[in-house]
Structure formats: structure tokens, C-alpha cells
Structure 1
Amino acid sequence: MRNSVRTVLVAALATVLLAPASVASADLENERRGHDRGDRTLERYAADTWRSVRAMVVPRTGLPADNVGGDLSAGSRAAYTSPTNIGAYLWSTVVARDTGLIDKREAHRRMARTIGTVADLERHEASGMFYNWYSPANGEKLRTFPTDGSTIKPFLSSVDNGWLATALLLVSRADRQLKPRADAIRDGMDFGCYYNEAEGQGGQIRGGFWDEDPQETAPVLGDYCDMGTDVWYTGHHYGAFNTEPRMASYLGIASGQIPAKHYYGTFRTFPNDTCDWAWTETKPVGSWQSYSAGGESIDVFEGALPYRGTNIVPTWGGSMFEALMVPLFVPEERWGARSWGVNHPRYVRGQIQHGLDEAAYGYWGFSPSNNPAGGYREYGVDQLGLDGAGYTSDQERTTVDQPFEGCREGSPAPTSYGDGVVTPHASFLALRYAPKAARANLAKIERDFDAYGRGGFYDAVAVRSGQVSKHYLSLDQGMVMAALGNALADDDMRRYVARGALETSLRPLMKQEVFAR
């Protein structure tokens, strides 16, 4: 917070030197007042969001529920949690401490209890990975889903374990007393167990694996990290580059469990010289480039999709959290000035243009969230996704069928969109790249809808019907807290995570890459 204040004052003082004294003095005062008002608003968001995060936690175990009702009552807590949820609570606790919402003693007590429970959770012994679902009440691995009684086949997700490992790394550096315990857990997690070197030029990671035969899910038997026995891997890999699983890839590369060439092993877009990829969103622009990684030369198709006059490296579905959850912790736009540094702002601009201009909702910010009509859904901007079907921004699932030149024709663009669904966490993710637009969008959502409660912004709003999902989700509130920690506490999330092996391993890879323009 202090550094951001200093930045504003330095800029304002430069104006003082170039303007008449009376005008400069007034401008400086306006800068100060505007900054103070902005900080106070963000501080209010942080305090209220922390209230909902705190309400999700079972005191005895220190584990957060997946979600809680808008009334924040203990009885409305979900009876299940995940590694990602646990990670989100841990880093949210650090944010609460660093922004002055709780003191160091309380933060330590909370994290120590959670780390102690995590250390005792059942996990896959050979890989050190955690299962997808546990009871927040007692930490037991779930075999039956509490909401509908369906059978859970024990699964170990690469992306979920990536977020828990991120939080463990952060805690290790944010609280030195907890370092030995946090490191002991994280050091036992082998991300190489997800890495298939044979997939693509640089290898890709699987979505995860089961340690029991899941039978009807068409798994692939294998053992990528010499576990001593085959496991049942998902049939798919994470093949798209600009998606949230890259955090697990980064951790694997930094730890030496996955080779550096994997950074170039996923697709910016698929190549444009064949119709084999015509099922994707539209024909990309771009060219082949060669990069060095770990002593090897890797050829990469630097592709991008055109959207409203700008070329953008897409996510898989077109959502905000796929693109911008990772840079909450890793300064991609600084390490890769000619790649991520160009793409992140463009991606945010694309989301804004879709919400305000193309679909004319009057609001923006599309990302997986609760569905205001019930359940959970993936929302996004179809044209910002690599997948042809993409995620849609409205309840009616209005898609855009663009042509793939030389391979298939498209169809006329929609003339209107339906009941668009925005989620506030998407605006918080955009806060770094479009601060004025993000703050204005959040203020409009709060003003125009019954979208803000004691625990901060509710999860999602359908902007034409006015229907609101009055729930708080651990993951989404965790993203909000991380963004606010960076904004109010001198990039604390990045300071804890993005140093040491992560920087020395990844910064050179990002620095040399140039995305398609």
C-alpha cells in the first residue's frame, strides 16, 4: 500500500514542477483524495470478503467449506472441500494479516491449525498428491458426495494440487515458524507424476489420475514418475497454454520435476496450415518460432486469434480466471514483456468490449461461477477461447460461429445476447490491468443490484433479470482476497511466491518469447 501511495505522489509532484502553483496544488490534492477514496473502497471490500472466508472455516479443523450461504451461517456451509479451497483460505489469511484485518498471532494460529490438519489428510503416498474431496468437518477423504449421495471415485487433480502447493510455498515464506511444516508437505508433492513427455514437443500434463480403477471413464494406465505401480490417468492433457493449470506446470519446472521444455509444450493456438484444427474457434494468425529450453531447441507456433481488431492468445474457454488467476502469484507480464505483458491487458480489454459493446450488457467480467438460476456454470467470452464451442456469457448460451478460412464457413454473428452473467471475482482479477474500469464495474454492480452482502460481493449476477446467486465460494473469494492483497499490500502474493527457483527457472523462458501481434 505504501509503495502505491508513493507512486501516485511521485507522478503528482512531477505535475507540480510543470504547472502554475495554484493549479498544481489543486491537482495534487485531488490525486490524494482520489487515491484515498479508492483505497478505502478496496479496504472495505477486503474486510467484508474476509468475513465470508472466515465464515467458511470449520474452527476445529481449520478447513474451509467449498461455499457458504449469503447469511454466513455455519449451517449453510457445504460439507465438502478441495485442495484448491484449502489453498485459497491459507493465502487469504496472509492477505488478512498483511492488510491489518487480523494480527500476526491470529494469522499464525489459523494457518498452523490448517497446516496441521493438511499434514494428516489421507493422500496418495507414492506421488504425495491430495485427493479432490475431503470433509471440512473432520478431514476424511470423501467417497460419497454430500449433496446428492453419488459415489466419488478418488481422484488426484493436477490443477487442484497446484493451487494447494502454491499456498504452501506462500505460507512457508510468509510465516517462518510454519516453514518446516509447510515445506515438508510440499516437498513430498511430485508434479512429475502428471507429466507425459511423449505428448507434443515439450510434453504436457494430464488432468489427473485415479488410484483405483474408475471403470467407465476410459482412463489411460501409466506411471510417469516411477511410482512403482500404474495409475489410471485421465484421457486428456492440458494442451492449451493460457489456462490456469500452468501454475502446476510452473511449480513442476521450478522444482526440477518437469523439464523446462514443457513451458513450450502446450499450444498458444493450434497451427493454421491444416484443416485438422478447424473445430477450434477460428483460423489463427501467427508463425513458427524456435526457443531454447534446458539446452534444447523447441519449435512453437506463435498463434493468436483475432478479436475486434486485436490479436489475442486465447484461453481454452474464454473465461477470466483461466487467464488471470496465475498472475496473482507470478509476475508474468514483467517476466514476459513481449508475451504476457502484451496479452493480459488485451485479454481484459476483450472481456470489457464484449460486455459493454458487443453484448451491450452494461457490465462485464465473465468467468466460471455459481449460476444465479441454480448450480454452477462456466461463463466466458466465446471468441476469447480456443475451443470452438467456448464458454458463453449469457444464460441462453449465445455462441458465435466464426469461419475457419479455407476449411469451414461460419454463420452470421448474433444480433443480440440474452441474460448476461457477470461474476465480481473477474473484475478483481482485472484490477491490475484495468484499474479504473474494474473499480467502476464493481461499483455499478454494487449500486444496481442486490449483489453485496456482509461477506462482500455475492458470487454472480444475471444482469438483465437481476437474479443474484447469494452464495460465497472459497475459490472465488480467494481470488478476490489475493487481488486485494496485491493492491493493498505491495504485491504481497507475488513477493512470497515468485522468487527463488520459480524466478530463475521461468523468467528466462518468458523473457525470450514473443507472442503473435
Structure 2
Amino acid sequence: MTSLRRFTIPAIAAVAAATLAIAPAAVAGGPGGGHGHPSNPGDDTLLRYAEDTWASLHAMTDPATGLASDNISGDLAEAGEYTSPTNIGGYLWSTIVARDLGIIGKKDARERLRTTLTTLASMERHEPSGMYYNWYSPTDASKLTTWPDSGDVVYPFLSTVDNGWLAASLRVVASAEPSLKRQATVLYDSMDFGWFHDLNAREGVTLNRGGFWVEPPGDGCAVPDNYAGDGPDVYYTCHWYDTTVSEARIATYLGIANGQIPASAYYGTYRTMPDQACDFGWQEQKPVGETREYLGVSVFEGTYEYAGQRLVPSWGGSMFEALMPDLFVPEAQWGANSWAVNHPATVEAQRWHGMEEAGYGYWGFSPASDPFAGYREYGVEGLGISADGYASDAESTDVDYGYEGCRDATNPSPEYGDGVVTPHASFLALPYDRDAVLTNLEGLESNFDSYGAGGFYDAIAVGSGTVADRYLSLDQSMIMAAIGNELLDDKLKKYFVDKKFEKVVRPLVEAQIFSNADN
């Protein structure tokens, strides 16, 4: 399938730097890898974490389909009966990392990848867009229309961000395993992100919707339209992905690189909500910044103050919103005046919150399994735009700093309860504070029943010692990616980024300035 509309990036003279070729990294070793052994302090520990994390991904993957389940119990005995494009993509890139670390052999990895790609080619999709539905059975790859646990109706949905992570993994496979390049590329080329992109989101601004249904959902808000301009309408979510520090930016990168959405879309999202009287006075705090223009898009480069520094917040204040795309796109390398400042600031803010402000003694907060049953969104609320963003503790302690001239503060100095730390959030911080990450993880492993046959359990309530003793494939695959990049010199990024991607995307990232940058 080819895209129904194509966009090209205009020249940005101020940042027209020569494109740098990305050379393959030297492979660090591991058991059975034949490449020597890690040499930096802590490398052996990271390799052990990777070996055990891989064990959970192996256990939750159906060998016949090559589809990883969404989750598995802590004893690796009972896997969930559903999977998503993100889960599938995470297994693909984790297989590459396991191979490159020497945890599994090259032939084993190749056959695993081939099985998954073959299954992906056979799965039911939305054919006009080439996009995958959000829930499938991992055992027979069928699209789910009823929820396995409850029998509730599932209205088949196509998620922008989930398809983004699957597409990212296909790029990695195509680069990392030459024998499967054609198979992975055919799937990747069939995925058109233009179907998600609203060219009339706001005046002068284009944005991705959250996704769409082919048929109207049973309840909730849906907007009938067709952004591809051909065929019957689909039913879009009523929200856009409109914040910059969001995991959803992976889909924007891909759509721009593929020419399926305009380059100006990179600048269309909010850094913070605008500072316009009290129109956005509901947000966590009053932002400070200045307005700049990029490719004709006027951007308020707002920042929040937190932990003695200024930074661009995410919606909920979680680590994965900020750092998951950085596993694949070298944002900090390319964005000297944006991500190179904001990523380490986010890590330091999360560390400061856990160690100083809340006094948990541990840090790293991101959506994960709830140690007290179910699933919850965890984060540092003060790092989030939403005034009722993601809490860092089991009590959902609210933080309210107020908004100057618009909303009085109700709880600017809260007392926090049973802090819930999520290990994958700490792994994501490896590039920005390796020593603090290793110390944090060592403490979690030593002082809690937080580590099993599949590595770290998904979340630990560090006050009560209550543990969510299961594994989520998304969180495990983030850990694999983070360790792979740390031990293999950012190899996942080098697989993901080719010359075309760099030529198109790098100038956009280089041009961007956040108001917390020292420029």
C-alpha cells in the first residue's frame, strides 16, 4: 500500500547541517555471545537483569504465533489472553537485543522474528490504512471482539501510538536482520500514519488523533471523518495527541519521515498549555516561556518550575511519556537546545521527588501494575500538566500548587503515603544518571521481594513492601531496550535511524528550542 498523500520537509536554513552517517556499533558480549564480556562497573548486573527480563518475554510468547501476551504472572506460569501492537513490537526489538547481548543465538533470534513477522502478515488489519487493531489473541492471532476475562464487547480500535511502536520495531528488524529485511519492510511500508492525522486540528496546527474505530463505538465520543480522503468514514477519538512530552511523538516522527504527515506537525503540540489569562488556568501551574515560530507554526515554549529547575512537563508526569521515544530516536544528541536539556532534567526531577520531596528512599514513577490489584498510572504529579495527573503513591495524594490569579492552591505541600516505584522507569533513565539508576535498582532488589525469575516485578509499594508480582510485556520490553542501548552503544537507535530518517527528522529536532535551554 502506498500513502494517499505525501509531504516533504521544507529546508530549514538555520539548521542545514550535513547528515552524519550512522555506523554499526561494536557488539558487547554476554553468555554464549562470543563477543567478550561487559567491562564497565555495573555492566554485569545490567546483563543479568537483561537475561532475566528476557526470560519473562520468552515465557509470555506463544511459540506458534510469535505473539507476546500483554502480561504474565510472577511465576511465569499464566500468560494473559490478549496482546496489542505495542506488545508485539516490544517482543521484536527485545529479541534483537537478546541476540546482540548473546542471551540467545542468531539462528534462534532469526526464527523467532520470522515467526512473528509471518503472523503479522496474516492478521486482520484495517486494509486501507494498513494499521493493526488494538487487541488480538496471542495464541491464534485473531482480532478480539469480546474481552477474554469478562466477555465484554470489544469495539475494534486502531491506536495511533500502538501502531507507532509496532512500526518502530519493524524498522529495527529490517535493519538488524538482513535476511528478514524485505518481510519487515513490506509490513512497514503498508502502514499509513496519514490516516491518524488531522490537518485541521487547530488554526495553523495539524495533530494526530488518538486513533479511530471502523464502526461507531458503543459509547463515548467519536468523530466521523476520513483524513485519507478516500473511502468510507471512520470514527476518530475526540482527543488529539497535543502535548510535546508524550510517548505518542513516536508516531509523529514516523509519519513525518515517511512523508505521510507534514513536517510542521512536529511543532504543533503544546509544551505546556498556553498562558492566556485563565483559559488554561486548570493546569498544574502557571507556565513561563516565550513564543517562537517554526515552519509557520507559532509555539509557546512554556516551562514549569520543579526541583529547582525549569522543564517542559508531560501530561501526567511519568517517565515513559518523556523517555520512551528516546530509546529509538537520538533526541538528546540532535536536540541540544531541547531534549538534551529536558531529558536529564526530567530524570533529576523524578529522583528528587522520590528521594527528597516524598522521602520514599527510591524513585522512578510510570504507569504499571498496581501492587494492590489492577493497573494504574503513576508519575510525579508536579511534573505533569494535568492538575489531577498521575500520583506517585498508593493513596493518590493530590498536589495543587494553584494558578496565579486564576486558581488558589489547595495542597501545595502534600504529605505523601505509600510510594509506588516502577523499575522500568528507572531503567529508562540510564543514559542520564547511570550511577543513580544502578543504586536505585540495587536497593529495590535487596530490600524488597521485588525480583523473580523474569527480573523485577512490575511495581513496588516501597512503604508497605507490597509488590505487583507480575510482568507486563510493554514494561519488560522497555527494560530490554534501555539495557541494550546502555551496553551496546545505543544500538537500537542505530538500527532505527537510517539516512533518510535522519535527513528528514534531524533538522526539525535541531531547530527546536525549549525555554529551559541555556541559549
Decide: shared fold, TM above 0.5.
yes
Q: Corresponding residue for 1:96?
A: 98
Task: Please tell me whether the aligned partners of residues 397 and 414 of structure 2 are also in contact (alpha carbons under 8 angstroms).
Answer: no
Q: What whole-Å deviation, never above 9, does each CA across 1:118-149 have from its counterpart, x for those lacking one?
A: 10000001111100000000000011111111
Aligned-pair CA distance for 1:502: 2.1
Q: What whole-Å deviation, never above 9, does each CA across 1:154-179 have from its counterpart, x for those lacking one?
A: 00000000000000111000111111
- How many residues are paired up? 484
Q: Corresponding residue for 1:273?
A: 276
State how far apart, in whole Å, the 1-side matches of 2:253 and 2:228 are: 17
Paired residue type of 1:445:
L
Aligned-pair CA distance for 1:413: 2.5
Q: Corresponding residue for 1:138?
A: 140
Q: What whole-Å deviation, never above 9, does each CA across 1:104-123 have from its counterpart, x for those lacking one?
A: 11110000000000100000
Q: Counterparts in 2 of 1:126-165, with a 5 A limit?
A: 126-165=128-167
Q: Counterparts in 2 of 1:375-386, with a 5 A limit?
A: 375-386=374-385
SS of aligned partner of 2:241? coil
State how far apart, in whole Å, the 2-side matches of 1:401 and 1:456 are: 36
State how far apart, in whole Å, the 1-side matches of 2:468 and 2:117 are: 31
State how far apart, in whole Å, the 2-side matches of 1:2 and 1:90 are: 19
State how far apart, in whole Å, the 2-side matches of 1:385 and 1:487 are: 27
Paired residue type of 2:81:
A
Q: Corresponding residue for 1:206?
A: 209
State how far apart, in whole Å, the 2-side matches of 1:289 and 1:170 are: 34
- 1:218 aligns to 2:192 (yes or no): no
SS of aligned partner of 2:290? strand
Q: Corresponding residue for 2:322?
A: 323
Q: What whole-Å deviation, never above 9, does each CA across 1:374-421 have from its counterpart, x for those lacking one?
A: 000000000101111110000111111112112121124244211110
Structure richer in helix, relative to its length: 1
State how far apart, in whole Å, the 1-side matches of 2:249 and 2:265 are: 10
Task: Please tell me whether the aligned partners of residues 127 and 227 of structure 1 are also in contact (alpha carbons under 8 angstroms).
Answer: no
Q: Corresponding residue for 2:454?
A: 455
State how far apart, in whole Å, the 1-side matches of 2:414 and 2:394 are: 16
- 1:49 aligns to 2:53 (yes or no): yes
State how far apart, in whole Å, the 2-side matches of 1:141 and 1:227 are: 24
State how far apart, in whole Å, the 1-side matches of 2:158 and 2:512 are: 32
- 1:430 aligns to 2:429 (yes or no): yes
SS of aligned partner of 1:64? coil
Q: Corresponding residue for 1:105?
A: 107
SS of aligned partner of 1:198? strand
Aligned-pair CA distance for 1:225: 1.0
Distance 1:256 1:249, change over 3 A: same
Q: What whole-Å deviation, never above 9, does each CA across 1:324-373 have from its counterpart, x for those lacking one?
A: 00000011011111100000000000000100011000000000000000
State how far apart, in whole Å, the 2-side matches of 1:214 and 1:169 are: 32
Q: Corresponding residue for 1:68?
A: 72
Q: Corresponding residue for 1:263?
A: 266
Q: Corresponding residue for 2:124?
A: 122
SS of aligned partner of 2:292? strand
- 1:392 aligns to 2:391 (yes or no): yes
Task: Please tell me whether the aligned partners of residues 126 and 227 of structure 1 are also in contact (alpha carbons under 8 angstroms).
Answer: no
Q: Corresponding residue for 1:178?
A: 180
* Pairwise CA RMSD: 1.5
Task: Please tell me whether the aligned partners of residues 38 and 487 of structure 2 are also in contact (alpha carbons under 8 angstroms).
Answer: no
Q: Corresponding residue for 2:362?
A: 363
Paired residue type of 1:384:
L
State how far apart, in whole Å, the 1-side matches of 2:499 and 2:229 are: 27
State how far apart, in whole Å, the 1-side matches of 2:285 and 2:38 are: 43
Aligned-pair CA distance for 1:298: 1.8
Q: Counterparts in 2 of 1:2-13, with a 5 A limit?
A: none
SS of aligned partner of 1:318? coil
Paired residue type of 1:122:
E
SS of aligned partner of 2:200? coil
Q: Corresponding residue for 2:12?
A: none
SS of aligned partner of 1:508? helix
Distance 1:148 1:336, change over 3 A: same
Distance 1:416 1:199, change over 3 A: same
Aligned-pair CA distance for 1:274: 2.0
Paired residue type of 2:236:
Y
SS of aligned partner of 1:58? coil
Q: Corresponding residue for 1:339?
A: 338
Pick aligned residue for 1:234 from 237, 249, 264? 237
Q: Corresponding residue for 2:83?
A: 81
Q: Counterparts in 2 of 1:468-507, with a 5 A limit?
A: 468-507=467-506
More divergent stretch after superposition (160-169 vs 411-420): 411-420
Paired residue type of 1:275:
C
Q: What whole-Å deviation, never above 9, does each CA across 1:278-337 have from its counterpart, x for those lacking one?
A: 111110000101123xxxx22111111111221110011000000000000011011111
- 1:286 aligns to 2:294 (yes or no): no
Task: Please tell me whether the aligned partners of residues 84 and 164 of structure 1 are also in contact (alpha carbons under 8 angstroms).
Answer: yes
TM superposition score normalised by structure 2: 0.91
Q: Corresponding residue for 2:169?
A: 167
Q: Counterparts in 2 of 1:387-426, with a 5 A limit?
A: 387-426=386-425
Distance 1:3 1:173, change over 3 A: closer
More divergent stretch after superposition (492-501 vs 379-388): 492-501
Paired residue type of 2:382:
Q
Gapped regions of structure 2 (runs ≥ 5) = 1-23, 29-36
SS of aligned partner of 2:205? coil
Q: Corresponding residue for 1:59?
A: 63
Aligned-pair CA distance for 1:50: 0.7
State how far apart, in whole Å, the 2-side matches of 1:52 and 1:360 are: 31
Aligned-pair CA distance for 1:34: 11
Task: Please tell me whether the aligned partners of residues 54 and 94 of structure 2 are also in contact (alpha carbons under 8 angstroms).
Answer: yes
Aligned-pair CA distance for 1:192: 0.5
SS of aligned partner of 1:263? helix
Aligned-pair CA distance for 1:199: 1.2
SS of aligned partner of 1:173? helix
State how far apart, in whole Å, the 2-side matches of 1:36 and 1:221 are: 55
TM superposition score normalised by structure 1: 0.92
SS of aligned partner of 1:383? helix
Aligned-pair CA distance for 1:4: 10
Task: Please tell me whether the aligned partners of residues 398 and 414 of structure 1 are also in contact (alpha carbons under 8 angstroms).
Answer: no
More divergent stretch after superposition (271-280 vs 360-369): 271-280
State how far apart, in whole Å, the 1-side matches of 2:230 and 2:429 are: 40
